[in-house]
Amino acid sequence: MRIALLLLLGLISCTAPESDAQGQQVTVAVSDSALYYFDRIDSGVATSEELEFAKKHFIAEDSLVLSDPKRLMQAGLVLMSGGEDYLYGINYLITLTKKYPEHAFAPEALMQLALFFENRFNDKERSRNYLRALMDRYPKHELATQAEALLLLSSDEELNTIQNWLNK
């Protein structure tokens, strides 16, 4: 009888931690995926540290990102926010504008690309190209007015720079 009782207690003690361990593995698997980070972004609670961790998941789970315009926008902006993986972010935003041109995020993606090239690389020509594309493709969108203003502003700045240089 004692042996049966010890055996029963041994089985109970062995099975309880195993189920706890499985529960922990499920939690780790969920928090170690792109979907987890998309959920954190959607709920507005993603920390900057989590966004850094998210980058590798957005790249690794490329097919998940490419399947949805919202995910393309979110992953693109996160990847463009710094670090060496910014090319993936650029690619995601360009893909968004080509694969889902009628989606509400497409004009915003073009604006983000224009601002990114202007601010990160001081590539005014590429920035202007994205601003013009925004104006051409979405002339009635509210960002088209802002794109036009940015184009005029950049032209005036260049003109002032040239005039200042000639006056020296």
**pLDDT of 41 higher than 80:** yes
**pLDDT of 12 higher than 70:** no
**pLDDT of 95 higher than 90:** yes
How far is residue 68's CA from residue 102's CA, in Å, rounded to a whole number? 13
**pLDDT of 5 higher than 90:** no
**pLDDT of 83 higher than 90:** no
Tens of pLDDT along 121-157?
999 999 999 999 999 999 999 999 999 999 998 776 6
- DSSP for 142-155 reads HHHHHHHHHHHHHH
Task: State if pTM tops 0.85.
Answer: no
Distances (CA, A) of 53 to 64, 70, 80, 92, 101: 17, 19, 14, 18, 29
